[in-house]
Amino acid sequence: AARARFEREMKTMIDQHRNHPSVVMWVTLNEGWGQYDEARLADQAKSWDPTRLVNAMSGINLGVDGGTGDILDEHGYPSPALPPEPDGERAMVTGEYGGLGLAVPGHAWAVQQSYVDVDPATYTDDYLEKLDEVRQLACEGSNGAVYTQISDVEGELNGLATYDRRVVKPDVKRVHDAHRALIRDASQDTVPNCS
């Protein structure tokens, strides 16, 4: 009954958001939480909306993603990671990485957790070090990476901004410039300066 309800809700979500221009991908499952019928669910989502990419399993934690969909996705903390067995058919991405935690007193939810606690004095450097690792993965064929996360949430201090969005943690100019350079370089047919 729970599986049937999940599938009805997935269909409703796709139907309701089909015309939203900011939706670029449907992710049918995440990190093995209730994972089942990975290929069938991804194929079903693609049939309901063939105009969007489908990621059958964000974070192949159980080593299985059904072998279908448009994306092959690995999660890595704190360093980005690529899927261990690329299939040559799907785009390879790091669906989550980072988790650099920095508490800003007076701007956090009561529950505080992070993957890696970072010194405020080195936060920007630590972030840019992880971004350099993303660059190296681009040299190895990576098609994208998602940093976790934009802002702190109730139980995690991993955001680039605080929970209340009043404090941005890294040096914005340095991060902006590094992002622009990575996007420029990774958009080339051959990523420059690969070792």
* 3 shares its domain with 99: no
* 49 shares its domain with 115: no
* 150 shares its domain with 61: no
**E strand or H helix at 100:** strand 100-101
Specify if 125 maps to a domain: yes
Task: Domain of residue 32: give its range.
Answer: 1-69
Which pLDDT tens digits describe the chain residue by residue (195 residues)?
A: 888 999 999 999 999 999 999 999 999 999 988 889 999 999 999 999 999 999 999 998 777 889 999 999 999 999 999 998 899 999 999 999 999 999 898 898 876 666 678 899 999 999 999 999 999 999 999 999 999 999 999 888 999 999 999 999 999 999 999 999 999 999 999 999 997
* 47 shares its domain with 122: no
* 106 shares its domain with 190: yes
Specify if 170 maps to a domain: yes
**E strand or H helix at 186:** helix 172-186
* 125 shares its domain with 185: yes
* 53 shares its domain with 114: no
* 59 shares its domain with 107: no
Number of domains in the chain: 2
Question: How many angstroms separate the CA atoms of 195 and 188, rounded?
Answer: 16
Residue with tokens 């949430």: 153
* 109 shares its domain with 153: yes
Identity of the residue numbered 127: Y
* 171 shares its domain with 128: yes
Specify if 124 maps to a domain: yes
- State residue 191's pLDDT score: 95
* 150 shares its domain with 107: yes
